[in-house]
Amino acid sequence: MRAGLLNHAGRILLVAVAYYLGARFGLALAVVNGQVTPLWPPTGIGLACLFLLGPGCWPGITIGALAANLPLGPNPPAVLMISVGNTLALVCAYVLLRRVGFRVQLDRLRDALELVFLGACGAMLVSATIGTGTLVLAGDLPPGAYWPTWLVWWAGDALGVLVITPVVLTVGRTRWRWPGSWLRLVEALCLPAGIIGVFALARETATPVFFLAFPLLIWAALRFQHRAAAPCALIMSVGAAVGVVRGVGAFAELDLAARMVTLQAFNASTSLTALLLSAVTIQRNDALRAVERAVEQLSQAVAALEPHSLLRDGMLENVLRSRARTTSDGEIS
C-alpha cells in the first residue's frame, strides 16, 4: 500500500512539474494581461498525462496551475478559481473522450475528430469561461474586454490540446526503433530542420513565407504519420506564436487583433492538417496490410488444392497477380 501511495504521489508530482514548466513557456507568449496567451501548452500536457498516467493524477494539474498563476495574481482566491477551471476543463475533456471510445494511438480518423471537437473546442469552453469571468469579478479585467479575452483564452487552451497532446501521446506510446536505413533517418531529420529554416527566413521578410512549411508538414504526415507530423506541427505553431508576440516578419505591419486572427487560423490549419492527414494515412496503411494478409492466406489455401492442379494453378496465378498489384501500389510507411 505504501509503495502504491508513493507511486501515485510521484505521478501527481510529475504532472505538476510538467504543467508548471509548460505554463512558464506559455506565459512567455502572453498577449493579454500577462496571463492570456495564444498557445497554452499545459492543457495539452495535462490531457495527455490523464491518458498516459491515469485520471487519478488530476491534482497535479491543480497544483501546477496554482504554482504558475500565484505570482501573477490578482489574488489567491481568484488564482484558485482559475486553477480549478483549468482542472475541470481537462477532466471534462478526458471524460468526454473516454465516453466516445477515443484511442491514444490516434490511428483512426474519428480519434482525430474527437480530439478536435470534444477535447479541444468543447471542453476548453469551461476553462475560458471560468478564467475570464474570474478576472472580471476580481477587477483585473474591465467588463468590456470580457469577450475578446475569452476568445483568446479559449483559442489558446484549444490549440494547446491540438498541438501539444499529439506530441506527448506519440512520445509516450511510440516504440522508437531504428528506421531501417540512414536515408530514412536523414529524411525524418530534414523535415523539422526545413521547417525551422522556413521560419528563420520568415523573420527577415514581410512576405508570409511561413506558409511554405505546409508541404513539409504534409510530407511528414504521409511518410511518418504522427511520429514526425506532431513535432513539425508543434515547431510551426511555436514559430508563428513567437512571431506574433515579437511583431516580426509578416506580423510586423498588423495590429494585435489582426495578428491574433492570422495566428489562430494558421495554428488551427497546422494542427488539423497534421492530425487528420496522419490518421487517414494510418488507416490506409492498415487497410493495405489487411489486404496483403488476406491475399497471403488465400494463396496458401489455393496452394493446398491437391490434386486439382489445373484449378490450383489458375487460381494461384490470379492471386499472385492481385498480390503483385497491391504491392506495386505501395504502402506509405
**Which of 132, 90, 82, 152 lies closest to 115, judged by CA?**
90
Overall average pLDDT of the 58-83 stretch? 91
Domain span at residue 259 reads 179-333
* pLDDT reported for residue 332: 43
Distance CA 305, CA 314 (A): 11
Same domain, 170 and 222: no
* pLDDT reported for residue 325: 64
Q: Which three cell numbers stand for residue 306?
A: 491437391
Select from 124, 148, 174 the last residue of a domain.
174
Same domain, 117 and 47: yes
* pLDDT reported for residue 117: 93
Same domain, 217 and 328: yes
Same domain, 231 and 302: yes
Entry pTM: 0.84
Same domain, 193 and 166: no
Least confident residue range of 65-74, 266-275, 277-286: 65-74
Overall average pLDDT of the 177-197 stretch? 85
b/e 90-120 (16+ beta carbons within 10 angstroms → b): bbbbbebbeeeebebebbbbebbebbbebbb
Name the pLDDT band for 316 (thresholds 50, 70, 90): low
**Higher-pLDDT residue of 124, 36:** 124
Same domain, 109 and 192: no
Same domain, 137 and 4: yes
Same domain, 51 and 155: yes
Share of the chain above pLDDT 90, in %: 48
Same domain, 34 and 75: yes
CATH of the domain at 94: 1.10.1760
**Which of 207, 222, 219, 217 lies closest to 237, judged by CA?**
217
Sign of the C-alpha dihedral computed for residues 121, 122, 127 and 132 taken in this order: positive
Distance CA 111, CA 8 (A): 28
Q: Are 299 and 324 in contact, with CB atoms under 8 Å apart?
A: no
**Which of 117, 97, 7, 82 lies closest to 47, judged by CA?**
97
Least confident residue range of 10-19, 26-35, 206-215: 26-35
Same domain, 26 and 157: yes
